[in-house]
Amino acid sequence: MAVGNLLRGFGGSSASKPAARVVSAEDAQRRLEILDDYERTGLSWIWATDQDDRLIYFSPSAAEHLKEGLDELLDNPLAELFEIDPDNADRSDRPLNFQLKARNKIADLPARLIAERSMAAGKERWWALSGHPKFDKSGKFLGYRGSAKDITQAYQRAREDSRLAEYDSLTGLANRHRMNRKLESTLAAYKSAKRSCALMMMDLDKFKQVNDTMGHPAGDELLRQVAERLRAIVGDRGEIGRLGGDEFQLILPDIDDRGTLGDLSDKIIQMLSSAYQIDGKRAIIGASVGISVAPYDGVEAEEILNNADLALYAAKNSGRGTYRFYSADLKGVEQERSELLDDLRQALATDQLNLHYQPVVRTSDNHVVGFEALMRWEHPGRGFVSPGVFIPAAEETDLINQLGQWALRRACEDAMQWPEKARVAVNVSAKQFANKGFPAIVTQAIAESGIDPDRLELELTETVFMGDTETTDATFKTLKGLGVRLALDDFGTGYSSLSYLRSAPFDKIKVDKSFVDTCTQKNENSSKIITAIIGLSKALGMETTVEGVEAFDQLKVVCDKGAQYVQGWIYSKALPQDQILEGIATGGFKIEPNGPETYRPERRSVFRRIGVIHEDHRYDAVMKDLSQTGSLIEGLVGVPKGTGLVLDLGAGQLVVCTVARSKDATFAVEFETPLVSDGAGGLVTRHRISPYALAAAGMPLAALPPGNYPLSLGEEGAPKSQPQFMQVTVSRA
């Protein structure tokens, strides 16, 4: 059949089939009818904008999806009607307004109709927008012509699938996949912007015990409550993720202040360590935190993750329930810990360990009423090893039970050589207390030594309540049945101490040294807290011992607040048994206070090689002691009082200070900004000099960690003036 005949057939009729008419390019009316028919199907709609990107046409059938019909859309800028999903992190699309202004083609772009224009209140509508820019023959832009279709159901389903792939189904927190991608993208962006980002890794302590004793459903509920507490603490400061099991992670953009990070870690640990109510039962866990900060501890995601893990591992090994910042010396921590435990086992077997005893003094007459037993270890090669190092390591193994049994037995034996009314206090770890055989060990120590049970005082911390509640209550009942006394140590440093006082039969509360350290400072609430604790203990019929009193101004404060008993250096440090017996024999059962008039923050003895920067010169020196507010330095002669210096402590830590006193090659400095805790008994600067700033000054970024970071000495390193001080060599002797 000829084409002409075919075309003509659409205009009339034939004997075999009804005739139809082809819609020609000139038949505008028929084309409009077909377009109307298509728009009424609702498969998609047609839209158009003018040269100002204002919507001038939208298919009428779209009105049923709008609260007020098409009138609310027409004559409005398209970019104000729709927005690209801001929560879809996978999309690389620029904002809709940017694409329109760039006159880009748009192909099936998911866009959200602004919420208030949706027909159903609170219901989002998602449309796929496609469009092409239209230009006249001279190239003048006339507007967009395009199509749209409703993809709400499919898009929400896809978003939910994406959410399930990126979020933990139990807690609703980001999962490991999302956190890894978030960290990588954040660090990549921040590297070019020269910004910092902190990463916190967290493990829950004693979580396995909850699963084992209360069941996995209880463990799941506990994890949900942990997530809620983390959300409440962190807020919008960062993203929280659950990596799996009891592992959590925080990404904190633009935070590098280690004081702020330490405070946040303390708050997290306290909040997560308070009691959880699950199915009418109480569960108590703890938390440990490891912290690394980019770019100081690395610039790549893998490096920052590994270093935060190392810091977390160190926090757990130092006794749990604490935080730790990453430092370069943590990389050998596992091998060091293993060697330490081997040496400690040998020390226990060969009688290298000793007990020293610190007097507890009655404030009314300075009479010694008892002693606290403190473990000491003099290693043949290492020298004195701090209990703060070896006790936490032992608590990670069964060795703590052996150490505890030895200390209990030795303390009871030594106390039998003291006056009859003098009590001995022995510290008991949570792991010892949770041992079902612990009451039998106490019974044996009493029987073998012959000591009156009322003279034995067991000092416990709040961590003993992290075990099974029924077992804990049974152990308390058995111990009280033996007649021994119980003291709650470090009171006030935990989160829910009052609930423990209600449920446990304590005879004494010990006020923690941290409150005493700051009780004389202005704008501190420590003295008020001491008053409250002493008043509470009196109301409950308990005794109170205030720990850590070192100076007369502190002694006056605690005595004015009603302290009955004091323990601290102002009376005596811990002494070996032979010195205790010597003092008793010479009538030294009464000790007069002796110490400085005012308290000075603790200075730690160190031997640390540092840099001292004065004007455009850098000198080598040795730090001999260190506190939060100052240091003693040796190695420079002729440094006058009042001189301004900068101390280079390494790893980007620069401390501005002023010389407070000077003699020969030794001088003391006061810091402009106090140092902060590193979570493990050490001190660090709040801030560090950014590696990016140092790299800009000429130091290669890869060469930075962990060495010293001296200030620039001028162009090409040429000094601009003569050195003013003489440098001398300092030996460790």
Please check whether residue 25 lies inside any domain of the structure.
Answer: yes
Shared domain check, 227 and 270: yes
pLDDT at position 467: 61
Burial of 217 (0-12, 13-18, 19+ CB in 10 A): exposed
Q: 644 and 554 share a domain? A: no
Do residues 398 and 545 both lie within one domain? yes
Q: Residue 654 corresponds to which amino acid?
A: L
User: Quick check: 155 and 110 in contact, CB under 8 A?
Assistant: yes
pLDDT at 2: 37
Looking at the structure, do residues 483 and 521 belong to the same domain, yes or no? yes
Domain boundary (534, 552, 585) is at 585
Q: Per the domain annotation, does 345 fall within a domain?
A: no
Which CB contacts under 8 angstroms, 24+ apart, belong to 295-300? Answer: 295/190, 295/191, 295/194, 295/196, 295/690, 295/691, 295/692, 295/701, 296/196, 296/256, 296/651, 296/652, 296/688, 296/690, 296/691, 296/705, 297/326, 297/705, 298/705, 299/187, 299/191, 299/691, 299/701, 300/187
CATH of the domain at 641: 2.40.10
- Domain tally, the chain: 5
The reply to whether 118 and 61 lie within a common domain is yes
Q: Are 516 and 559 contained in the same domain?
A: yes
User: Quick one: 437 and 539 in the same domain?
Assistant: yes
Tell me whether residue 596 is in a domain.
Answer: no
The reply to whether 112 and 254 lie within a common domain is no
Full strand arrangement of the beta sheet holding 286-294: 239-244, 247-253, 197-205, 286-294, 323-325
335 part of a folded domain? no
Q: Is 277 exposed, middle or buried (0-12, 13-18, 19+ CB in 10 A)?
A: exposed
Residues 150 and 230 in one domain: no
pLDDT value at position 523? 65
Per-residue model confidence (pLDDT) at position 200: 97
Q: Among the three residues 287, 310, 326, which one is the final residue of a domain in this structure? A: 326
Whether 599 maps to a domain, the answer reads no
Which CA distances in Å does 127 have to 54, 85, 87, 90? 18, 11, 16, 18
Buried b or exposed e, range 321-345, using 16+ CB within 10 angstroms: bbbbbbbeebeebeeebeebbebbe
Helix (H, G, I), strand (E, B) or coil at 46: strand
CATH code where residue 438 lies: 3.20.20.450
Examine the fold and report which residue of 585, 615, 646 is the final residue of a domain before the chain moves on: 585
What is the reported pLDDT for 493?
64
Same domain, 520 and 626: no
The answer to the question of residue 383 being in a domain is yes
β partners of residue 294: 197
Asked whether residue 25 falls in the same domain as residue 70, the answer is no
CB 611 within 8 A of CB 647: yes
Q: How many Cα atoms are found within 13 Å in the side-chain-facing hemisphere of 17?
A: 7
pLDDT value, residue 521: 78
Q: How far apart are CA 508 and CA 524, in angstroms?
A: 25
Helix (H) or strand (E) holding 450: none
| Residue 261: CATH number of its domain | 3.30.70.270
Q: Is residue 479 part of a domain?
A: yes
Averaged pLDDT, groups of 10, the chain, 733 residues long: 34 46 71 78 84 89 73 84 64 67 87 61 75 92 91 79 78 92 90 88 88 87 95 92 94 93 92 87 88 91 92 81 84 70 89 93 93 91 80 82 94 94 92 90 95 95 72 88 91 61 82 86 81 89 92 92 93 93 84 87 77 86 89 92 90 89 92 85 83 62 47 50 84 65
- pLDDT of the residue at 241: 95
State whether 18 and 134 are in the same domain: no
Give a yes or no: residue 342 inside a domain. Answer: no
Q: Which domain holds residue 21?
A: 1-41
Residue 703 exposed, middle or buried by CB count within 10 Å (0-12, 13-18, 19+): exposed
Going by C-beta distance under 8 Å and a sequence separation of 6 or more, which residues neighbour residue 436? 471
